[in-house]
């Protein structure tokens, strides 16, 4: 799988998680997305989505992008 395909897959997955949390308040949604990614994604996947977001994060929903930003701030 090419790096671009990997990025697209991770964006798709993050956005699906965000869709699940759309029924909660925005702050709770972002925390829920972040928590899910932290708990269930392999560290390499987390690193890739953080790097993708640092390059602009095109395609991530607003809440998914905010959750990745929170992950990035914890990783720094």
**Is the pLDDT reported for residue 62 higher than 90?**
yes
Q: Which distant-in-sequence residues (6+ apart) come within 8 Å of 64 by Cβ?
A: 11, 14, 15, 17, 18, 33
As a whole number, mean pLDDT of residues 23-36 equals 91
Read off the pTM. Answer: 0.92
What's the average model confidence in pLDDT over 29-57?
98
pLDDT of residue 25: 77
């Amino acid at each position: 799988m090419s790096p671009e395909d990997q990025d697209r897959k991770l964006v798709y997955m993050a956005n699906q998680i965000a869709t699940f949390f759309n029924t909660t308040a925005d702050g709770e949604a972002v925390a829920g997305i972040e928590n899910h990614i932290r708990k269930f994604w392999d560290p390499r996947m987390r690193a890739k989505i953080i790097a993708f977001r640092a390059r602009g994060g095109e395609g991530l929903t607003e809440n998914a992008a905010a959750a990745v930003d929170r992950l990035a701030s914890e990783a720094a």
